[in-house]
């Protein structure tokens, strides 16, 4: 393996920077899409087993996995922020390998005891985003790289669910074995994509000049960073929390939401999600043209606000029966991902570059993600314990309206805070220059 890696690295070092970035983007996209096969394939099933303690069996599976994923995100605050560049590819493959073996345990152990294996499945997978994105951050082409990788957050879920249902319907693979079988299809591609990630050269001197060098952060450095930006980070994490919960509901119960509006086509998930992914890709990719980091950071805030507006307006129109269910799902999905995706790609990249912070995105992303998935677990428990009695379709409608209003207000506050913070930093620099 090491010999093959050296061979590929040598060849890639001889190609142009632009081609290196294209290969890196495709490898990140393919790697994260492959990860989804081990995480989301099970949601394509309906799992009609008897409820356990009054809660649907599938909901227990979702709660178990999300709880494991949430714990992984909390640990990831330390793990990813201190990751560095040593043996990243090996760590990535080992973590996904553990997740795949847990799906084998899920297939072999009868319900409801196999719920424990879904918890184990979530534990390693929460680290994968941070490892993959560590290959992309701190480059002058990070917007392009992040845009391509982030499409997998939209595309992969629908693609994997459609593929999983195809395996069940055409090859008659039972629901319990379907997640493991789906993972089997992605094992070889995963290894190949990881190999390319490892082989592409690290950020060069020009990258470090334009975006600041990215490095591992110690415990003391993380505390100092939080102290410096705490008010703004609270606003940002709150915004991410509500849209992370919303996205998780849509992702885990998309089959049920579509069924609630009378749509049961197998390919509807990949068709609509691919369209959303394409639009978000274009919007994010355009930011690579903006060289000024603070200006780009402002544009990102505008994109977040527009996403909140789209989700809220089209949910209201659907509730008023002005638009149909398919258009509603497309436009609310677009609005949701216009908020969710930038946080997973370019928001923190431009934040660090704007304020010239020598840290890494992993710390910020896992700080936000840990809170986001804690919120997802709480929402699932609140609904399933009978405190909210409604279908997933109706629940999603009300959640979108609430998130659109709260999110829009939070985005405005975030923009005002960071704009003032930048202005104060500029004044301090000018005073130092005058004094000298």
User: What pLDDT is attached to residue 362?
Assistant: 80
* pTM, rounded to two decimals: 0.78
Which residues lie across from 52 on neighbouring strands?
A: 55
**320 in Cβ contact with 397 (< 8 Å):** no
343 vs 240: CA distance, rounded Å: 7
**411 in Cβ contact with 304 (< 8 Å):** yes
Maximum distance among all Cα pairs of the chain, rounded to whole angstroms: 76
**91 in Cβ contact with 131 (< 8 Å):** yes
- Domains of the chain in start order, with CATH, are 11-202+217-435 (1.20.1250.20)
350 vs 356: CA distance, rounded Å: 9
422 vs 228: CA distance, rounded Å: 12
User: What pLDDT is attached to residue 432?
Assistant: 61
**333 in Cβ contact with 315 (< 8 Å):** no
297 vs 316: CA distance, rounded Å: 29
Return the residue matching tokens 């010239």.
356
Give the long-range contacts of residues 256-261, CB within 8 A, separation 24 or more: 256/391, 256/392, 256/393, 257/329, 257/392, 257/393, 257/396, 258/329, 259/393, 260/391, 260/392, 260/393, 260/394, 261/325, 261/326, 261/328, 261/329, 261/393
160 vs 148: CA distance, rounded Å: 17
Q: Residues 6 or more apart from 239 whose CB is under 8 A from it?
A: 304, 339, 343, 407, 410, 411, 414
User: What pLDDT is attached to residue 388?
Assistant: 65
Q: Enter the tokens of residue 54.
A: 């009054």
Phi and psi at residue 13, in whole multiples of 5°?
-65, -20
pLDDT average per 10 residues of sequence, the chain (436 residues): 66 80 93 94 81 79 89 90 83 97 96 93 94 88 82 80 90 93 96 92 80 78 90 94 88 80 72 81 80 90 95 93 89 91 82 82 85 83 70 87 95 95 79 61
Distances (CA, A) of 29 to 85, 137, 189: 19, 14, 11
């Amino acid at each position: 393996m090491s010999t093959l890696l050296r061979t590929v690295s040598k060849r890639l070092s001889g190609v142009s920077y632009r081609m290196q970035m294209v290969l890196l983007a495709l490898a990140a996209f393919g790697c994260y899409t492959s990860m989804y096969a081990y995480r989301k394939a099970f949601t394509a099933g309906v799992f009609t087993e008897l409820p356990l303690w009054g809660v649907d069996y599938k909901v227990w599976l979702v709660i178990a996995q999300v709880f494991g994923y949430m714990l992984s995100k909390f640990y990831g605050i330390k793990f990813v922020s201190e990751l560095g560049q040593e043996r990243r590819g090996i760590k990535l493959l080992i973590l996904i390998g553990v997740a795949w073996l847990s799906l084998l345990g899920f297939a072999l152990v009868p319900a409801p005891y196999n719920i424990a294996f879904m918890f184990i499945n979530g534990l390693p997978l929460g680290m994968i985003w941070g490892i993959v994105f560590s290959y992309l951050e701190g480059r002058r082409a990070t917007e392009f790289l992040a845009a391509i990788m982030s499409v997998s957050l939209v595309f992969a879920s629908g693609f994997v669910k459609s593929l999983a249902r195809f395996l069940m319907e055409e090859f008659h693979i039972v629901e319990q074995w379907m997640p493991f079988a789906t993972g089997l299809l992605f094992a070889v591609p995963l290894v190949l994509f990881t190999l390319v990630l490892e082989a592409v050269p690290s950020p060069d001197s020009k990258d470090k000049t334009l975006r600041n060098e990215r490095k591992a952060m110690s415990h003391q450095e993380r505390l100092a960073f939080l102290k410096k930006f705490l008010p703004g980070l609270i606003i940002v994490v709150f915004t991410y929390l509500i849209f992370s919960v919303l996205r998780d509901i849509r992702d885990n119960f998309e089959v049920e939401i579509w069924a609630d509006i009378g749509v049961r086509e197998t390919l509807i998930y990949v068709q609509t999600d691919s369209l959303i992914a394409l639009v978000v890709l274009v919007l994010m990719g355009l930011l690579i043209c903006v060289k000024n980091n603070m200006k780009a950071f402002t544009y990102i805030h505008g994109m977040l606000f527009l996403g909140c507006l789209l989700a809220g307006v089209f949910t209201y129109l659907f509730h008023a029966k002005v638009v149909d269910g398919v258009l509603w799902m497309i436009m609310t999905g677009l609005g949701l991902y216009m908020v969710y995706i930038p946080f997973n790609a370019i928001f923190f990249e431009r934040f660090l570059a704007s304020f010239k912070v020598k840290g890494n995105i992993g710390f910020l992303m896992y700080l936000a993600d840990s809170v986001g998935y804690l919120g997802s677990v709480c929402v699932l428990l609140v609904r399933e314990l009978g405190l909210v009695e409604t279908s997933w379709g109706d629940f999603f409608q009300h959640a979108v309206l609430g998130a659109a209003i709260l999110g829009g207000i939070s985005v405005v506050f975030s923009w005002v805070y960071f704009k003032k913070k930048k202005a104060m930093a500029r004044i301090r620099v000018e005073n130092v220059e005058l004094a000298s």
